[in-house]
């Protein structure tokens, strides 16, 4: 752990802001994640401050200094601002408490820094640096917990998690993001109080789940959620995987296999210039949920065999339903469910090889998700059988090479029939309507099957198809 040299390591804008508040007669401290990250040597993208000033007083102090201000969080005591490249939030000392059955916290403003720190989620986030002096304030031993790698609440976990049940999910998120572990008391309290998460809005739960999946160790955070019971309320389909045996990976159950796929998918993501720059929420969500259709499709066959036929199709439907309930955006829902639906397609290629038309269909069906599908399919190989793993890896190498070659020849990302709608209507002498769509679909199928042809060939194929349609004789 990096030991910062306070106040030399404090952002200059923080010290400058501290002088403004001090001159106005108010306290100001850098607080929470940015302080924690100073000790971890991590960059602080957003700066959070807490102050004795109320929102009106905050606005007075930053008037003329902040370039832009936002008052969206004013009712919660928060004023946001931007100065240069710095995004800043300043919040009046407060203590948020959930009333029984409420989905929104009741906000109470406080008077002292220690009282504000006592109501924060974990001790590693309950440290502050007074400004402009740079004095570290750590009343709950957060620095020691950070060195030990544990997550403890400043107050008793039952009190903390009752005040804001989302803190239980936040604990799982910090396991993923920071590699910390829940202390025994916090673990037990989470397991006992997981049901209280029901009062938290779907949007807040969704945001925590997203941050967890985007962390450095997403499989660890998910495992905390499953083993404490949080997942039963958020992603119960993942918890259900613990009871299933995976016929393709007999050394692991489906749950352990899914965690491994999630980890491997995260490891395969690339840098900013790669096809799938990490961290990628769509890929990681698909990796986690790719097999959730197995419990519903499990069948016991003769000789002790277990099958999960069509679990990809069933899983895609379950993904859409679950992500919709969590209020994920439509594009995320569509992308994740499509990846789940396609994740088994490759195994036909590995077993028998494909024609060029089958490779075209694979690429076309994946569309803009092709790069993610490549990573998901490769990550889905978790067998300990080295020979089998190498065979699958080689087969997918071959598939990618063939897809790339065909794409270079035909620009598969923009495949269209050899004739457009206007040309179809002119050739057949028909008006706009469903019949044009049928003809268009026929030509597209032909295009996928045999690649591009001359216009004369396409016209001949169209008329041959038309001669077989009942509408041709009716005309």
Q: pLDDT (tens digit, 9 = 90+) per residue, 263-292? A: 999 999 988 878 899 899 999 999 999 999
On whether both 51 and 83 belong to a single domain, the answer is: yes
Residue 106 sits at φ, ψ, to 5 deg, of: -90, 125
* Model pTM score: 0.82
Report whether the peptide linkage leading into residue 63 is cis, meaning its omega lies within 30 degrees of zero.
no
Q: What is the pLDDT of residue 447?
A: 83
Q: What is the pLDDT of residue 341?
A: 97
Decide if pLDDT at 64 tops 60: yes
Secondary structure (DSSP) of 426-450: HHHT--SSHHHHHHHHHHHHHHHHH
Q: pLDDT (tens digit, 9 = 90+) per residue, 130-171? A: 999 999 999 999 999 999 999 999 989 999 999 899 999 999
Higher pLDDT, 180 or 437: 180
On whether both 404 and 277 belong to a single domain, the answer is: yes
Please identify, among 395, 413, 431, the residue that sits at the C-terminal boundary of a domain. Answer: 413
Decide if pLDDT at 246 tops 50: no
C-alpha to C-alpha distance for 123 and 174, rounded to whole angstroms: 12
Percent of the chain with pLDDT over 70: 93
On whether both 344 and 379 belong to a single domain, the answer is: yes
Q: What is the pLDDT of residue 106?
A: 60
Decide if pLDDT at 181 tops 80: yes
Task: Please report, for the domain that includes residue 230, its CATH number.
Answer: 1.10.110.30
Report the mean per-residue pLDDT for the chain.
89
On whether both 291 and 399 belong to a single domain, the answer is: yes
Q: Is the residue at 405 inside a domain?
A: yes
pLDDT category of residue 236 using cuts at 50, 70 and 90: very high
Distances (CA, A) of 357 to 59, 296, 372, 430: 64, 32, 21, 30
Provide the number of structural domains found in the chain.
Answer: 4
Residue 182 sits at φ, ψ, to 5 deg, of: -70, 135
Domain of 77, in residue numbers: 12-148
On whether both 162 and 140 belong to a single domain, the answer is: no
On whether both 446 and 326 belong to a single domain, the answer is: no
On whether both 134 and 178 belong to a single domain, the answer is: no
Task: Please report, for the domain that includes residue 36, its CATH number.
Answer: 3.30.460.10
Q: Is the residue at 243 inside a domain?
A: no
On whether both 272 and 396 belong to a single domain, the answer is: yes
Contact 78, 90 (CB under 8 A): yes
C-alpha to C-alpha distance for 216 and 469, rounded to whole angstroms: 58
Decide if pLDDT at 247 tops 50: no
Nearest in space to 219 (alpha carbons), one of 46, 339, 388, 382: 382
Please identify, among 234, 267, 288, the residue that sits at the C-terminal boundary of a domain. Answer: 234
On whether both 424 and 357 belong to a single domain, the answer is: no
On whether both 144 and 157 belong to a single domain, the answer is: no
């Amino acid at each position: 752990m990096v030991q910062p040299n306070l106040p030399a390591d404090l952002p200059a804008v923080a010290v400058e802001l501290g002088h403004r508040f001090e001159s106005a007669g108010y306290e100001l401290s850098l607080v929470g994640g940015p302080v924690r990250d100073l000790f971890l040597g991590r960059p602080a993208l957003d700066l959070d401050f807490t102050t004795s000033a109320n929102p009106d007083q905050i606005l007075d102090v930053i008037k003329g200094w902040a370039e832009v201000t936002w008052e969206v969080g004013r009712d919660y005591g928060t004023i946001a601002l931007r100065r240069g490249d710095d995004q800043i939030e300043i919040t009046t000392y407060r203590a948020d408490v959930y009333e029984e059955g409420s989905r929104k916290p009741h906000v109470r403003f406080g008077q002292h820094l220690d009282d504000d720190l006592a109501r924060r989620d974990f001790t590693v986030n309950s440290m502050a640096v007074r400004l402009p002096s740079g004095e570290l304030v750590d009343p709950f031993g957060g620095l020691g917990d950070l060195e030990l790698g544990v997550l403890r609440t400043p107050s008793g976990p039952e009190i903390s998690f009752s005040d804001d049940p989302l803190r239980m999910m936040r604990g799982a998120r910090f396991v993923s993001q920071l590699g910390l572990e829940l202390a025994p008391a916090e673990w037990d309290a989470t397991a006992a109080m997981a049901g209280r998460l029901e009062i938290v809005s779907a949007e807040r739960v969704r945001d925590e789940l997203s941050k967890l999946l985007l962390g450095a160790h997403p499989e660890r955070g998910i495992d905390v959620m499953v083993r404490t019971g949080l997942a039963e309320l958020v992603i119960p389909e993942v918890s259900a995987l613990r009871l299933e045996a995976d016929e393709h990976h007999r050394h692991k159950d489906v749950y352990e296999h899914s965690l491994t796929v999630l980890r491997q998918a995260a490891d395969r993501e690339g840098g900013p210039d790669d096809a799938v720059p990490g961290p990628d929420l769509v890929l990681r969500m698909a990796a986690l949920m790719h097999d959730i259709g197995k419990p519903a499709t499990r069948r016991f066959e003769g000789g002790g065999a277990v099958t999960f036929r069509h679990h990809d199709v069933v899983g895609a439907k379950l993904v859409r339903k679950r992500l919709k309930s969590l209020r994920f955006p439509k594009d995320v829902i569509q992308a994740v469910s499509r990846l789940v639906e396609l994740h088994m397609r490759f195994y036909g290629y590995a077993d028998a090889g494909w024609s060029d038309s089958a490779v075209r269909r694979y690429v076309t069906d994946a569309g803009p998700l092709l790069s993610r599908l490549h990573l998901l399919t490769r990550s889905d190989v978790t067998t300990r059988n080295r020979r089998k793993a190498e065979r699958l890896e080689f087969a997918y190498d071959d598939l990618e090479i063939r897809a790339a070659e065909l794409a270079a020849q035909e620009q598969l990302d923009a495949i269209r029939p050899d004739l457009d709608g206007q040309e179809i209507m002119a050739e057949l002498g028909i008006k706009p309507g469903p019949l044009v769509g049928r003809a268009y679909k026929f030509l597209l199928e032909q295009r996928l099957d045999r690649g591009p042809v001359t216009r004369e060939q396409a016209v001949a194929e169209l008329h041959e198809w038309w001669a077989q349609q009942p509408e041709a004789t009716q005309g």
